[in-house]
Amino acid sequence: MTTLNKVVVDCSTGEETIIPLTAEEITQMEADALAFAAQQEEADQAAAALAALKASAKAKLIAGAPLTAEEADTLVI
């Protein structure tokens, strides 16, 4: 973990300062991390579900078995 500060540059003056994060900024940072983790989890689950559907569709095609509508959607645009 890096230091809990921020590097701020005022583009109108070029002045660069290092400022400790406020409690609100730390809270926001933690909320961002949680939001990212939740988003990543959702994306991972969606990808796993799609992969499972594709695998099932492929197996059924090979076996000559009928596909569900969901499985067909993974093959037909």
Partner 1 sequence: MATTFTKIASITVGLGGTSSIDFTSIPQTYTDLVLKTSVRTGRGTVNDALAVKLNSSTTGYSSREVTYDNGNVPSYTDLFGAGYNLNTQGNGTTSNTFSNQEIYIPNYTGSAHKSFSSESVVENNGSDARVEIMASLWSNTSPITSIILSSYTGNGLLQHSTATLYGISNS
- Contacts with partner 1 by CB under 8 A lie at 1-14, 16, 18, 21, 25, 28-30, 32-33, 35-39, 43
Residue 20's beta-bridge partner residues? 5
| In the complex, minimum distance from the CB of residue 59 to partner 1, in angstroms, rounded to a whole number | 20
Nearest residue (CB) to partner 1, 52 versus 65: 52
- Of 47 and 65, CB closest to partner 1: 47
Q: What is the rounded CA–CA span in Å between residue 55 and residue 34?
A: 32
Q: Following DSSP, what letter does each residue of 55-71 receive, concatenated?
A: HHHHHHHHHTPPPPHHH
